[in-house]
């Protein structure tokens, strides 16, 4: 019969999302989650100790003259498996981290426990888009593109309007759309490319630079403004630099005052666990909530891996076939050239014999 701790551990298998606060490193989030899960496992009551038969010697009393030995059997608990003897049952719970966030950023951070660590690899290798909310401030530039960096320039921003900002954002998004089409490796003159573009399913194949799939302004109150971004293969440093480049296009300067991830693929900020809910019970509920999503990611990852293996094997077979055909062609050419040489050598002999007979 399994113990309560083992049953609890079996439920810790899957993916879940937490909300990482700004100013907290992702390693601290991971370590805190591991510590809470480990504490919950080891705080479970231990199983009932096993009983062993022990024979005790009974004395006959001081006035007894009998020499018979009297033994009495009794059931006593064995302490060999007691936690005070063996120590805690669990010593390590591995929690994996998906697409990471730096200390300056906040938002959705996907974590995995148990077999969910393998699913995290499929999630990181997939081309899911992520949503961010970027907060910017016009009027100054810093050495690290954030409002907390060392100020290296101050500029005016009275000429900046919402219409000008939206035109700059449209220009940036158009350039990124061209990059997306280029790295998607799809022929634009085919029906497949048209259908993928209409459904918004174009994504870069292999390694590519950060690409913005969506960009718009959702708040404008100079000097402060807020952008909503959808992107792939991004880094938080790239997003902060994006605010700086927007300021340069508007002939001013701008710094980033906040980066907040609101969605990471199917994981949204509404379902992310805040710090007070980084407990075993809340994490198990979140894992159960995302169980269907986890199975889909696992199946899609296995399908892509199998398809890649099939494609590689097909390429090897095609390469082997072409090499075989090339060798056969060379053999045929060599055979034909050899036969021609033999004929050339035999022809003069035949002619000389003819002259001799005449």
Alpha carbon distances (Å) from 189 to 175, 183, 185: 20, 16, 12
Instruction: Give the Cα separation of 60 and 270 in Å (integer).
Output: 76
Q: Which of 96, 15, 95 is nearest to 293 (CA)?
A: 15
Report cis status (omega within 30 of 0) of the bond before 144. Answer: no
Residues counted in the chain:
358
Helix crossing, 280-289 with 26-42: angle to 10°?
A: 110
Contacts of 130 (CB under 8 A, 6+ apart): 99, 230, 231, 232, 234, 261, 263, 264, 265
Q: How far apart are CA 135 and CA 259, in angstroms?
A: 7
Place of tokens 């033994």: 71
Both tokens assigned to 90 = 């669990």
Catalytic residue among 31, 102, 163, 264: 102
CA distance 136 to 223: 8
CB atoms within 10 A of CB 345: 9
Whether residue 163 lies in the annotated active site: no
Helix (H) or strand (E) holding 14: strand 14-20
Residues 6 or more apart from 35 whose CB is under 8 A from it? none
Q: Cβ(122)–Cβ(130) under 8 Å?
A: no
- 314's enclosing H/E stretch is helix 291-357
Mapped onto helix, strand or coil, the DSSP state of residue 331 is helix
Q: How far is CA 167 from the centre of its chain?
A: 34
Residues noted as catalytic: 102
């Amino acid at each position: 019969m399994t113990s309560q701790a083992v049953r609890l551990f079996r439920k810790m298998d899957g993916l879940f999302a937490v909300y990482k606060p700004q100013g907290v490193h992702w390693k601290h989030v991971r370590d805190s989650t591991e510590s809470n899960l480990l504490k919950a496992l080891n705080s479970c009551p231990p199983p009932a100790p096993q009983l062993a038969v022990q024979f005790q010697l009974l004395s006959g009393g001081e006035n007894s003259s009998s020499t018979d030995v009297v033994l009495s059997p009794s059931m006593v608990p064995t302490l060999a498996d007691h936690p005070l003897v063996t120590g805690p049952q669990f010593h390590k719970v591995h929690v994996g981290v998906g697409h990471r966030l730096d200390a300056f950023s906040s938002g959705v951070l996907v974590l995995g426990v148990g077999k969910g660590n393998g699913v995290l690899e499929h999630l990181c290798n997939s081309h899911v888009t992520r949503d961010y909310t970027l907060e910017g401030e016009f009027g100054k530039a810093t050495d690290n593109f954030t409002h907390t960096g060392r100020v290296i320039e101050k500029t005016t921003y009275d000429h900046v309007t919402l219409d000008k900002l939206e035109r700059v954002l449209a220009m940036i998004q158009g350039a990124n759309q061209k990059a997306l089409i280029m790295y998607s490796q799809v022929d634009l003159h085919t029906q497949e490319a048209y259908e993928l573009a209409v459904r918004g399913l174009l994504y870069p194949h292999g390694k590519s630079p950060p690409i913005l799939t969506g960009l718009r302004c959702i708040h404008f109150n100079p000097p402060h403004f807020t952008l909503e971004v959808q992107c792939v293969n991004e880094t938080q440093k790239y997003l902060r630099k994006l605010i700086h480049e927007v300021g340069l296009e508007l002939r001013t300067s701008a710094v980033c005052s906040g980066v907040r991830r609101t969605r990471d693929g199917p994981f949204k900020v509404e379902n992310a666990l805040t710090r007070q809910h980084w407990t075993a019970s809340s994490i198990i509920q979140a894992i159960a909530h995302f169980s269907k999503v986890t199975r889909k990611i696992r199946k899609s990852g296995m399908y892509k891996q199998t398809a890649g293996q099939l494609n590689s094997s097909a390429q090897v077979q095609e390469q082997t076939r072409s090499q075989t055909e090339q060798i056969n062609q060379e053999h045929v050419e060599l055979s034909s050239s050899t036969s021609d040489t033999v004929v050339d050598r035999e022809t003069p002999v035949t002619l000389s014999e003819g002259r001799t007979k005449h």
